[in-house]
Amino acid sequence: MTAAERKSTELPLGALLALAMTGFICILTETLPAGLLPEMSEGLGVSLSLSGQMVTVYALGSLLAAIPLTIVTQSWRRRTVLLVTIIGFLIFNSITSLSSHYWLTLVARFFAGVSAGLAWSLIAGYARRMVVPQLQGRALAVAMVGTPIALSLGVPIGTWLGGVMGWRMAFGAMSVLTLVLIVWVLIKVPDYAGQSSSQRSGLRRVILTPGVRSVLGVVFTWMLAHNILYTYVSPFVSKAGLTRQVDLVLLVFGVAALAGIWLTGRLVDRHLRTMVLTSLATFAAVSIFLGVFSSVALAIYAGVFIWGLTFGGAATLLQTALADTAGEGADVALSMNVVVWNGAIAGGGLLGGVLLEQWGAGVFPSVLLVLLLLSLTIAFRARLHGFPGGQRSGGMAVVGH
């Protein structure tokens, strides 16, 4: 069997899992401080609130860097760009582990976020390029599997490592993991040329491509709803007496998210539009269910499990739809996705905080329902461009197949 024939029937799991590990390191680097705030605060001699800004500046680095760095590096060979981002994590996590100065640590965290912004813009397009169009959705599902694992386990892992080894050694362990990843990429991940000048797409051209704004609108409304609940899940489940079981609630969410990403990998190439609409409608129904049964612990666990199922495949579904829609401008469009996604994370924290302060966590399900119905409407209307029906073929959906 020739290499081309193998490419048509097989997923290059070694290479795709290297991309998944890159995503895992992105998320774990972002969430480590959340589990180590008291230790980092004491070690650097600052307040908890100042220590918490290490998460903020990381997100800020991703937001500011994703689009311009993606545009600048369009002509670079793809593995070179991937290695630059991974080496960035190696350098800035190492500085974090060694620094005894708060401002130096803050700068290192910002540039770690810059590395993440470029990485997230690259991973989806890289995974799609490794396989034939009919397998792109499945390939992306494998490449994104590190995200739900890190989201569900990142803070517990960070807390455990901090307790066992100290926070500096926890970041040092991340650097060792990154060194392993660099070798893995060099051995397993194929290299591809960058885009020629005639292929490169500017920001304005991509944003005006039919369907791109619709997909980004769904990204923002869906992730805003998700992050309101995810960020403030502790006060929300307290009414059901689960304050001391938040870690177990998040574990249930994480396990369900893994199941969701597996299911998405199986179906995304044939039923992308249906899966997006079904996921949004199900999450909307779950928000009603959680509102009605917010004081029943078993109902909370059941609702969180279904919520996790709907969320697990979200990144795969949305990035596949966005890359299909943008065509040759996929990398630029995916860098916009990084900005919108991180904006939704920040927005979820801000809006959720205001809602919690003014009306309490009991109002969350109603707000989620409004956002999800808006998201569902945008996705439903984008039947020609953005979320077309039918089986994906050649990077697009074949309507009526």
Residues 119 and 25 in one domain: yes
Neighbouring-strand partners of residue 393: 396
Per-residue confidence at 60, pLDDT binned at 50, 70, 90?
Answer: confident
Residues 121 and 246 in one domain: no
Residues 165 and 208 in one domain: no
- Are 87 and 119 in contact by the 8 Å Cβ rule? The answer is no
In a domain, 396, yes or no: no
Per-residue confidence at 124, pLDDT binned at 50, 70, 90?
Answer: confident
In a domain, 159, yes or no: yes
In a domain, 194, yes or no: no
Assess whether pLDDT exceeds 60 at residue 1: no
In a domain, 143, yes or no: yes
Residues 89 and 66 in one domain: yes
User: Could you tell me what percent of the chain has a pLDDT over 90?
Assistant: 44
Assess whether pLDDT exceeds 70 at residue 3: no
In a domain, 399, yes or no: no
Residues 251 and 361 in one domain: yes
Number of domain units in the chain: 2
Residues 230 and 369 in one domain: yes
- The whole-angstrom separation of Cα 375 and Cα 381 is 10
Assess whether pLDDT exceeds 80 at residue 392: no
Residues 172 and 250 in one domain: no
Residues 138 and 277 in one domain: no
How many helices (H) and strands (E) in the chain?
16, 2
CATH number of domain containing 320: 1.20.1250.20
Please, is 357 exposed, middle or buried when counting C-beta atoms within 10 Å of its C-beta (0-12, 13-18, 19+)? Answer: exposed
Mean pLDDT of 24-42: 83
In a domain, 69, yes or no: yes
Domain around 44: 13-188
Give the pLDDT of residue 401.
34
Query: At which of 123, 157, 188 does a domain end?
Result: 188
Give the pLDDT of residue 400.
39
In a domain, 7, yes or no: no
The tens digit of pLDDT for each residue in 274-294 reads 999 999 999 999 999 999 999
Among the residue ranges 45-49, 113-117, 285-289, 332-336, the one predicted with the least confidence is 45-49
Per-residue confidence at 144, pLDDT binned at 50, 70, 90?
Answer: confident
Per-residue confidence at 200, pLDDT binned at 50, 70, 90?
Answer: low
Query: At which of 188, 215, 235 does a domain end?
Result: 188
Please, is 218 exposed, middle or buried when counting C-beta atoms within 10 Å of its C-beta (0-12, 13-18, 19+)? Answer: buried
185 versus 162: the higher-pLDDT residue is: 185
Assess whether pLDDT exceeds 50 at residue 398: no
Query: Quick one: DSSP state of residue 7?
Result: H
| Reported pTM | 0.82
Give the pLDDT of residue 251.
83
Give the pLDDT of residue 399.
40
Query: Quick one: DSSP state of residue 76?
Result: S
Instruction: State the average pLDDT for the chain.
Output: 87
Give the pLDDT of residue 155.
64
Mean pLDDT of 246-274: 88
Give the pLDDT of residue 266.
87
Q: Which residue has the tokens 């992105």?
A: 26
Residues 28 and 129 in one domain: yes
Residues 108 and 157 in one domain: yes
Residues 209 and 173 in one domain: no
Residues 220 and 328 in one domain: yes
Mean pLDDT of 344-361: 87
Assess whether pLDDT exceeds 70 at residue 7: no
In a domain, 1, yes or no: no
